[in-house]
Amino acid sequence: MSENTESADGYWSANLRLIGVCLAIWALVSFGFGILLRPLLSGIKIGGTDLGFWFAQQGSILVFVALIFFYAWRMNALDRKFGVEE
């Protein structure tokens, strides 16, 4: 019984750590690059506009979609590691 509880605790701990990393990356890209660091990024041009505007309008969305695929990939690996795959 305790081995099963330790396995469940380890799985949940790894899941929460993964969620925290993904949220931190998304917050850095959307809030950090799109709002706080926008004046520093305004001199860099990408696609006809400055990089700060690009992050605020498109970059954070693209990073969010990439994080969804990354999370699904890592959770599949985590499920296999702990033996709870479908």
67-78 average pLDDT score? 96
For 16-68, what is each residue's pLDDT tens digit? 999 999 999 998 888 887 788 888 888 888 778 888 888 778 888 899 999 99
Are the beta carbons of 35 and 56 closer than 8 angstroms?
A: yes
3-state helix vs strand vs coil in the chain, percent to 5: 85, 5, 15
> How far, in Å, CA of 75 to CA of 24, rounded?
17
Q: What is the pLDDT of residue 2?
A: 61
Domain ranges of the chain: 2-82
> How far, in Å, CA of 37 to CA of 31, rounded?
9
With H, G, I as helix, E, B as strand and everything else as coil, classify residue 68. Answer: helix
> How far, in Å, CA of 66 to CA of 63, rounded?
5
